[in-house]
Amino acid sequence: MTPVFLVILGVLLASASLYGQVTVSPSPLVASFEVGTLVKPGDVVGCPAGWTCGGSPSPGATTYTVTSFQYKAGTDNLATGIVPDGTQAALCPTLIEGSCSLSQPNLGNYVPGVTYTFRLSVGTPLKMPFKADGTPDNGTDAYPVARITFYWLGSGGQVAATDIAPPDRGQWNVVSLSFTATEAQRNQQIGILIFVDSGGNDRVVNFDAPPTTPQTPQVCPTPPAGTVDLFTLLADPSFEGGMGLANPGDLVGCPALWTCTPGSPTPGFTAVMPTAAQYAPFPTTSSFTPDGKWAALAPTIIEGSGILSQTNLGTYAAGTKYTLNLWVGTPRTMLLKVDGTPDNVTPACRVNRMTFYWLGTGGAGLAAVDIIPPAPGLWKLVQLSFTPTGGQIGQKIGILAFTDSGGNACAVNLDTTCFGNTNP
């Protein structure tokens, strides 16, 4: 079900007896739909992980990584960027037209006299994210949906409803949704539901958390002469693009802009946002990852193998050293259960094998480094370097990471930082 409201309203109810009125601020981890999708057999896209979806076509709602085809920075009613929080947003309906609902019941119990407030970003993209077959579109004009209604739910059904006007094309708006419980709702179970009816073809809406203060971008120092920092060549080196679209039959997607050679279970690697359940925060950034909020995770569920790579990053030059600050972490607890939903409870162990490869033209292995992951709850910096010689000079630059868990509940996280950043 909907972890976004489970977390938010858990905080809300804990504060209710103290304050009488509670303002809810969504957690970026769950409210901003950064946790990917779960795809059911027969569907071409998946419901946002942790949510209950309904609608036509099935599953009604999904998530995707927003691009400049959907919103333009500087003209989208946001102070910065093209997404209010994170890189992904919810999308309703899932394809080119239809209806959808996103819901979460059983979030605690209403307290009379307490005002519950939830803030939500609502957007209308410029271009349709998907075609009717679920493949990327990004060319067809998108338009505002006909209806958006937000419901507060009680034990017997809806207790309040608010119609939300969709913004203009390419715009985001923040709406504040409030409900004051009365004696009639005392001890009833709190729930929410968002309903959307497109009203025609090519009419969709995005949902996200309200904007948060953006992180200061990592400033990469210039490496010494004759050294190339692969962080500057990789697409999305620290996985801040989040999880890409899950392939049919997969529970999660490969990290955006990376290539996953299907492991077991597929896709082998995914992208996640670790929390305090996995690691202590870094002292200088208060983040649970070395750079940003995201990290790669393998295997994708509770055990197995994974292969993650990028190729065609340029051409190896003579007399040049190529470097990469690779961070390898063993989470304290597993991030995902076998069904792809968040875990954060099951103790995790270090994987049996972690190997990094420098690749050449056609994916040929030029050098390999076996890495011993750290103990659970810790990150380890591995400073990798490679200087091509002989026939390696002139070949295409590439990298590949391979892992094999060696058993259940063993996992590894990967992240990177730029040259010189060895103490996040």
User: The CATH number of the domain where 31 resides is what?
Assistant: 2.60.120.260
**Is the pLDDT confidence value at 214 over 80?**
no
3-state secondary structure of 363: helix
Question: What is d(CA 295, CA 288) in angstroms, rounded to the nearest whole number?
Answer: 9
pLDDT in tens, 86-120: 888 999 998 888 999 988 777 667 877 777 777 78
The pLDDT assigned to 6 comes to 28
Question: What is d(CA 251, CA 261) in angstroms, rounded to the nearest whole number?
Answer: 16
Nearest residue to 266 via CA among 306, 231, 294:
306
Contact 124, 89 (CB under 8 A): no
Flag whether 372 is in a domain. yes
**Is the pLDDT confidence value at 379 over 60?**
yes
Domain residues for the domain of 68 are 3-208
Flag whether 320 is in a domain. yes
Q: Does 233 share its domain with 314?
A: yes
The pLDDT assigned to 247 comes to 73
Q: What percent of the chain has pLDDT over 70?
A: 86
Q: In what order do the strands lie in the sheet with 191-197?
A: 52-56, 99-104, 191-197, 147-154, 157-163
> Which of 277-286, 350-359, 400-409 is predicted least confidently?
277-286
Q: Helix, strand, coil shares of the chain as percentages rounded to 5?
A: 10, 40, 55
5 or 79: whose pLDDT is higher?
A: 79
Handedness of CA 336, 334, 84, 221 (dihedral sign): negative
Flag whether 222 is in a domain. no
Contact 417, 327 (CB under 8 A): yes
The pLDDT assigned to 326 comes to 97
As beta bridge partners, residue 356 has: 369, 401
Q: Which residues of 216-252 are buried (b: 16+ CB within 10 A; e: fewer)?
A: eebeeeebeeeebbbbeebebbbbbbbbbbbeeebbb
The pLDDT assigned to 134 comes to 79
Q: Does 29 share its domain with 86?
A: yes
Mean pLDDT in the chain?
83
Flag whether 305 is in a domain. yes
Q: Grade residue 378 by pLDDT with cuts at 50, 70 and 90.
A: very high
Flag whether 297 is in a domain. yes
Flag whether 286 is in a domain. yes
**Is the pLDDT confidence value at 1 over 90?**
no
Flag whether 44 is in a domain. yes
Cα-flanking dihedrals φ and ψ of residue 18, to 5°?
-95, -35
pLDDT in tens, 24-35: 322 222 455 766
**Residue 10 carries which DSSP code?**
H
Residue 150: exposure state from Cβ atoms within 10 A (0-12, 13-18, ≥19)? buried
Q: Does 178 share its domain with 301?
A: no
The pLDDT assigned to 23 comes to 35
The pLDDT assigned to 197 comes to 96
How much is the average pLDDT of 58-70? 89
Q: Does 286 share its domain with 186?
A: no
**Is the pLDDT confidence value at 17 over 60?**
no
Q: Does 315 share its domain with 375?
A: yes
Q: Does 343 share its domain with 196?
A: no
Nearest residue to 171 via CA among 93, 81, 72:
72
pLDDT in tens, 305-362: 999 999 999 999 999 999 999 999 999 999 888 877 778 899 999 999 999 999 999 9
Domain count of the chain? 2
> Which of 3-7, 161-165, 314-318 is predicted least confidently?
3-7
30 or 287: whose pLDDT is higher?
A: 287
The pLDDT assigned to 41 comes to 63
> Tokens 């333009």 label which residue?
72
The pLDDT assigned to 414 comes to 98
**Residue 230 carries which DSSP code?**
G
Give the rounded distance of the alpha carbon of 418 from its chain centre: 22
Q: What percent of the chain has pLDDT over 90?
A: 49
> Which of 211-215, 357-361, 399-403 is predicted least confidently?
211-215
**Is the pLDDT confidence value at 424 over 70?**
no
Q: Does 119 share its domain with 246?
A: no
Q: Does 277 share its domain with 199?
A: no
362 sits in the region (left: phi over 0; alpha: psi -120 to 50; else beta) called left
Q: Does 367 share its domain with 288?
A: yes
Reported as half-sphere exposure (CB side, CA atoms, 13 A), residue 278 has a value of 28
Question: What is d(CA 207, CA 211) in angstroms, rounded to the nearest whole number?
Answer: 12
Q: Grade residue 44 by pLDDT with cuts at 50, 70 and 90.
A: low
Nearest residue to 141 via CA among 203, 207, 57:
203
Flag whether 424 is in a domain. no
**Is the pLDDT confidence value at 191 over 70?**
yes
Q: Grade residue 21 by pLDDT with cuts at 50, 70 and 90.
A: very low
Q: Does 268 share its domain with 388?
A: yes
The pLDDT assigned to 27 comes to 28
Question: What is d(CA 321, CA 224) in angstroms, rounded to the nearest whole number?
Answer: 10
Q: Grade residue 207 by pLDDT with cuts at 50, 70 and 90.
A: very high
Cα-flanking dihedrals φ and ψ of residue 366, to 5°?
-105, -30
115 or 7: whose pLDDT is higher?
A: 115
> How many residues in the chain?
424
Transcribe 295-325 into DSSP letters: EEEESSSSS-EEEEEE----B--TT-EEEEE
The pLDDT assigned to 283 comes to 83
The pLDDT assigned to 39 comes to 61
Q: Does 176 share its domain with 259?
A: no
**Is the pLDDT confidence value at 200 over 70?**
yes
Kind plus residue range of the DSSP H or E element containing 116: strand 115-124
Q: Does 293 share its domain with 160?
A: no
Give the rounded distance of the alpha carbon of 112 from its chain centre: 36
pLDDT in tens, 234-262: 988 998 877 766 677 777 778 878 999 87
